[in-house]
A and B are shown apart, each in its own frame.
Chain A
């Protein structure tokens, strides 16, 4: 299939696009409750193609970089005329080309594989919703945009898809648009990410203007490498990173992601956990060749990542909403990835290993975080859309499959050996430690970041298992909504549709098989992808190193062995976190409240998410709104000045009004007088 890969590659985004169009056009009239079929089929098709692509790339021999370039069509160009014009200004020349290298291939697998199973899950979860076709149309559109994003071979096409995934995110968050909270959350998500995007597009245009009037990755990277380190480059990198910060919900633009949980849970799983939010990581990884030229930008990336990782974990400690815990966990894990990316420069050499670690973490994270979200979705589905952990408990008995899948996700997220999260997290820690040991300038900073990352690892294990124990262990608590809501939907054919069974506390609340099957598949993935792809084989690192991004950066690769000290530390943190959670929520359930009241200020800080929303509302939103009002008032002043100018001749005319008295003879007299005066003056003038 590698013989003619072009069509194959085009099909990967095209299938979801076709499915989106079909679902949008026919969904509500023809397909109705089968609206999920095109999406699932398209996602599965894209997934198969992506796997083929990956295999094709992997099976190609040699150490040389692997990159397929697929020529597309000219999207738009301001190229004024053929032939080189002697103008000193370049043209914006955008071709719609695709490229595939190992980085893209890995991203594609994560997107389409997870996407396929989330689509299957959604067919059960969203069943009976009036917007069923709409959901799948947007879902397909998202898959199209996301695959397009990773396949793009120039900045502007990437940006276009980048905005496209943002739009899909908006549309999915606002899916239940009757909810005011959903409408507000969607707007917030869109605007906050757009804030980052504005920086990003500035960065892109800066790159275009300063580095060779091209936006193709290769040309820009090549030109930038020729130009070497400069303040313009650092600025461009930081601006690009703004986009990543917004999209990947990093501090200080992380506030939109928890709110975005208002959307349907499968959407949260796909967009706000597994794929879209990792677009920022992909962007920075793709631009590694740029960031490698700017240590400052690297440091900023690492610091933002580290701060976000810790911040997300701290906030996740006390949240009571299961999805919110997972959302903050996502923020924290994305911070981890950026930490890895930021640690990728030692002695002016790009460390392939660090970037690969970040991408690998992205890959494993996609599996286990999607799994956790889907499990949470399954809980919501069974419990009548209640997701507050204070109202849930002991669900392991009534939802066994969901319980086990959540547990799988939790051990992977907590980083317990030998599950996925361990391998990827360990690599990032190692990369940061390397940077701390060997970096010339910012040793201390990286060492501090390493410590932060370790603490975060412990916190991660703690809050994950806190959520797990609170939801699935303890005494059985099932909210009333579960009896009214969850089981009144028509798809539960497996069970008798028993509305009066309120006292039947022990009946199964498990979700239908269309939902549990994806859980099982993803659970297997979450447990073992780390071991298979990296832990046992180092395949992923080697494969990613062949990406076109790293083609010139084989300079410095630290030893790749198994670091026992690191292993010990990270296991200690993870196990400590899990143990503490078990002790606090399983062995002595009362102690959590005691601790909370003992550490009241810290607890409140975390519970209220460090008051970020309030601070932003006060410091940014309120002044802007105020400024808007001031502008409106000022506008009436501007208008008033105009009216004043209009008033001037009117007042002047008022003085002349009495002349117009309507008497014909008066008018005639005036005429005569002035004609006479004119004649006299004229006669005198002639005489001179």
Chain B
């Protein structure tokens, strides 16, 4: 059974790539064949992903119940991906080397970049989300993409390949390669099939995110080198790196303990500081200094790329442009999945690998930016007249929520944030789909052109209302769960005034979200019927057809399911959330200890200088 899962991971990843190649080769004349093949590919992939996630979810749930002691045990917490293709070894390597680096590691083996794929609690639902959103993407492009359809679907499928690759990767380099690879298909999707100023949008999107992710690469390399420097082991595996970092930081914890013990010695009370204490202090001082500097530098480098991808407040301007110009399928994937690459990067790399910096500068800096983004994005969304642009800005606001939850650095916040990633993918994906359907009918997206559409397009309006409700966090729809958990996480921050401030911003975001979405509903769907001028030859505008309903239904069903019964999802993710929150918790404890011991340290380390 488990072997099958390993195979399935590879199939899930490879199928879009193969389908992309097939579709590309078919040529632009076989438009009908091309889209049926694409549809078949995404449906089969959805089925495979469904089987995979269902199986892994049950394994993860069992594992979470069995390994209740993970938070107690002395071994350091790290990710343990399931269904890893290739043989997984205890040293957290797989046997599938992509590229060997001729530097022998501590255990005498050469380090190598590996095809290390796997599924764990952090990525399992994101993988399913990616596969799920592909179905509406193909369906919504069915009629609207007329020229070069084969290329379009090929890029779309390649994009799916890249996105799945990012989520599945457990090797830092493979992660980065896929992370960058997502840019290429989307660049072409926007640049070829986009709106009037698609080229500018594609260029800006590409360059902006590329510029950011180069810093991320720098950070990743820096991280690998720092770990090599300190532990003597060159590795690119994320679980292994997490372990190494944890181990290194725990040495620091041990030193603090030793120093305290030494100082508590009766001998030390006389005022004399023993040589041992000095030794400990010197070691500790250098370690603290090293890790603080290194972590801050790595954190900032990693953050820049992820923050642009999310996008956080001052770095968001590529997003509205890209969204407005992108074809509907591109927008759906951009909002639904690609933005999550940023927050997922924070979760997978920043929090576990540079926990101290995530705590010391991540929470104040990124948290504040996220807060500004929540409010600012909402206000910008309100001021838009283009519905698609409004939805794009609402993404800025909602993703701010995601990031805020992450940097609350506790279980509730992280779980909420992870759920919010899924929820935002579903609800914003749905919004973009519906806006695309409106555009296909009327060839405009300007709110003033519309009015009272509920009378004409009953099903579309109903779907829009449901998706808006899910987006504003109506209970029993998906948004609610995530928002509540994020708010809870934020309110639990140790500093009461920060908790209150962040909480107020979060709550304000909830109100503002309702403000712009309901204003849009009022203007576009309610009131007297007002249709934009459209070609009279095409006859009256019709309501959703079967294909469009089929595109929307999976999203709406998922929204409802998550809203009513989210526990299976939460059960699957909780083990790995526990890992991350334990790491964050350790960082909190460590920062307090370091702060407490800093004066002592300064005193001890200053003494020799004076005596000299």
- Count of chain B residues near A, Cβ 8 A: 77
A81 to B574, CA, bound (A): 7
Mark A203-221 against chain B: 1 for CB-CB distance below 8 A, else 0: 0011011000000000000
A247 to B447, CA, bound (A): 30
A199 to B506, CA, bound (A): 11
Q: B410 touching A87 by the CB < 8 A rule?
A: yes
Knowing A80-B577, A156-B484, A180-B527 are in contact, say whether A199-B507 is a contact too (CB < 8 A): yes
**Interchain residue pairs A-B with the least CB separation, the first 5:** A160-B475, A183-B526, A632-B383, A198-B507, A89-B410
* Residues of chain A contacted by B518 (CB below 8 angstroms): 170, 187, 190-191
Q: A206 touching B379 by the CB < 8 A rule?
A: no
* Residues of chain B contacted by A629 (CB below 8 angstroms): 383
- 8 Å CB contact of A208 from B476, B491, B575: B491
Closest-by-CB residue of B relative to A185 is B522
Q: A78 touching B488 by the CB < 8 A rule?
A: yes
Knowing A182-B526, A190-B518 are in contact, say whether A209-B492 is a contact too (CB < 8 A): yes
Q: A77 touching B68 by the CB < 8 A rule?
A: no
Knowing A187-B518, A642-B208 are in contact, say whether A77-B64 is a contact too (CB < 8 A): no
**B72 on the interface (CB 8 Å rule)?**
yes
* Residues of chain A contacted by B528 (CB below 8 angstroms): 178, 180
Closest-by-CB residue of B relative to A174 is B526
Within the complex, the shortest CB–CB distance from A148 to chain B, in Å, comes to 10
* Residues of chain B contacted by A89 (CB below 8 angstroms): 410-412, 489, 492, 581, 585
Q: A76 touching B314 by the CB < 8 A rule?
A: no
Q: B71 touching A81 by the CB < 8 A rule?
A: yes
Within the complex, the shortest CB–CB distance from B209 to chain A, in Å, comes to 12
Q: B475 touching A163 by the CB < 8 A rule?
A: yes
Q: A80 touching B69 by the CB < 8 A rule?
A: no
Closest-by-CB residue of A relative to B453 is A177
Q: A194 touching B70 by the CB < 8 A rule?
A: no
**A687 on the interface (CB 8 Å rule)?**
no
A74 to B70, CA, bound (A): 23
Knowing A83-B69, A632-B383, A635-B380 are in contact, say whether A78-B412 is a contact too (CB < 8 A): yes
* Residues of chain A contacted by B384 (CB below 8 angstroms): 632
A187 to B574, CA, bound (A): 38
- 8 Å CB contact of B522 from A187, A206, A632: A187
Within 8 A of B (CB), among A71-96: 74-83, 85-92
* Residues of chain A contacted by B474 (CB below 8 angstroms): 163-164, 167
* Residues of chain A contacted by B522 (CB below 8 angstroms): 183-184, 186-187
A177 to B575, CA, bound (A): 48
**B114 on the interface (CB 8 Å rule)?**
no
Q: B383 touching A631 by the CB < 8 A rule?
A: yes
* Residues of chain A contacted by B64 (CB below 8 angstroms): 81-82
- 8 Å CB contact of B476 from A85, A86, A164, A624: A164
- 8 Å CB contact of A638 from B314, B469, B529, B574: B314
A209 to B507, CA, bound (A): 15
Tell me which of B480, B488, B504, B515 has the highest count of chain A C-beta atoms within 10 A of its own C-beta: B488
- 8 Å CB contact of B70 from A81, A156, A179, A183: A81
**B125 on the interface (CB 8 Å rule)?**
no
Tell me which of B320, B522, B588 has the highest count of chain A C-beta atoms within 10 A of its own C-beta: B522
Q: B499 touching A209 by the CB < 8 A rule?
A: yes
Within the complex, the shortest CB–CB distance from A357 to chain B, in Å, comes to 31
- 8 Å CB contact of A198 from B65, B320, B510, B581: B510
* Residues of chain B contacted by A11 (CB below 8 angstroms): none
Within the complex, the shortest CB–CB distance from A71 to chain B, in Å, comes to 15
A328 to B565, CA, bound (A): 40
Closest-by-CB residue of A relative to B513 is A194
**B317 on the interface (CB 8 Å rule)?**
yes
**A639 on the interface (CB 8 Å rule)?**
yes
Knowing A78-B412, A80-B581, A87-B581 are in contact, say whether A177-B452 is a contact too (CB < 8 A): yes
- 8 Å CB contact of B567 from A77, A91, A170: A77
Mark B504-521 against chain A: 1 for CB-CB distance below 8 A, else 0: 100110110011001101
Tell me which of A76, A182, A198, A646 has the highest count of chain B C-beta atoms within 10 A of its own C-beta: A76
Q: A81 touching B415 by the CB < 8 A rule?
A: no
* Residues of chain B contacted by A87 (CB below 8 angstroms): 71, 410-411, 581-582, 585
Q: B71 touching A85 by the CB < 8 A rule?
A: yes
- 8 Å CB contact of B504 from A90, A159, A202, A646: A202
* Residues of chain A contacted by B510 (CB below 8 angstroms): 194, 197-198, 201
Within the complex, the shortest CB–CB distance from B176 to chain A, in Å, comes to 23
Q: B526 touching A177 by the CB < 8 A rule?
A: yes
Mark B558-569 against chain A: 1 for CB-CB distance below 8 A, else 0: 000000011100
- 8 Å CB contact of B480 from A74, A160, A625: A160
**B485 on the interface (CB 8 Å rule)?**
yes
Within the complex, the shortest CB–CB distance from A75 to chain B, in Å, comes to 7
Knowing A80-B581, A86-B71, A632-B380 are in contact, say whether A159-B416 is a contact too (CB < 8 A): no
Q: A646 touching B207 by the CB < 8 A rule?
A: yes
- Beyond the given pairs A80-B578, A183-B526, A632-B383, 9 more chain A to chain B contacts, judged by CB atoms under 8 angstroms and listed by A's residue number, are A81-B574, A87-B71, A87-B581, A187-B518, A198-B507, A202-B503, A206-B500, A208-B492, A646-B204
A195 to B379, CA, bound (A): 16
A272 to B390, CA, bound (A): 32
A40 to B69, CA, bound (A): 54
- 8 Å CB contact of A79 from B72, B318, B574, B588: B574
Tell me which of B64, B207, B570 has the highest count of chain A C-beta atoms within 10 A of its own C-beta: B570
Q: A198 touching B508 by the CB < 8 A rule?
A: yes
**A681 on the interface (CB 8 Å rule)?**
no
Within the complex, the shortest CB–CB distance from A21 to chain B, in Å, comes to 12
- 8 Å CB contact of B452 from A90, A178, A209: A178
A90 to B508, CA, bound (A): 24
* Residues of chain B contacted by A55 (CB below 8 angstroms): none
- 8 Å CB contact of B491 from A195, A205, A624, A628: A205
Q: B317 touching A88 by the CB < 8 A rule?
A: no
**A562 on the interface (CB 8 Å rule)?**
no
**A616 on the interface (CB 8 Å rule)?**
no
Within the complex, the shortest CB–CB distance from A1 to chain B, in Å, comes to 28
**A161 on the interface (CB 8 Å rule)?**
yes
Mark A518-561 against chain B: 1 for CB-CB distance below 8 A, else 0: 00000000000000000000000000000000000000000000
Q: B469 touching A167 by the CB < 8 A rule?
A: yes
* Residues of chain B contacted by A159 (CB below 8 angstroms): 475
Closest-by-CB residue of A relative to B480 is A160
**A627 on the interface (CB 8 Å rule)?**
yes
* Residues of chain A contacted by B529 (CB below 8 angstroms): 178
Q: B570 touching A78 by the CB < 8 A rule?
A: yes
* Residues of chain B contacted by A160 (CB below 8 angstroms): 475-476, 480
Closest-by-CB residue of A relative to B473 is A163
A49 to B317, CA, bound (A): 57
Within the complex, the shortest CB–CB distance from A26 to chain B, in Å, comes to 16
17 cross-chain CB contacts under 8 A: A75-B565, A75-B566, A78-B416, A81-B68, A81-B71, A83-B69, A90-B492, A92-B412, A163-B474, A164-B475, A167-B469, A177-B454, A186-B522, A198-B510, A199-B507, A202-B503, A625-B382
Q: A191 touching B514 by the CB < 8 A rule?
A: yes
A87 to B411, CA, bound (A): 9
Within 8 A of A (CB), among B538-594: 565-567, 570, 574-575, 577-578, 581-582, 585, 588
A631 to B384, CA, bound (A): 10
A177 to B461, CA, bound (A): 12
Knowing A89-B585, A180-B528 are in contact, say whether A194-B380 is a contact too (CB < 8 A): no
Q: A628 touching B379 by the CB < 8 A rule?
A: yes
Closest-by-CB residue of B relative to A239 is B507
A178 to B314, CA, bound (A): 40
**B525 on the interface (CB 8 Å rule)?**
yes
Within 8 A of A (CB), among B475-501: 475-476, 480-481, 484-485, 487-492, 496, 499-500
* Residues of chain B contacted by A642 (CB below 8 angstroms): 204, 208, 317-318
* Residues of chain A contacted by B491 (CB below 8 angstroms): 202, 205-206, 208-209
* Residues of chain A contacted by B485 (CB below 8 angstroms): 76, 78, 92
Q: A177 touching B527 by the CB < 8 A rule?
A: yes
Within 8 A of B (CB), among A151-165: 156, 159-161, 163-164
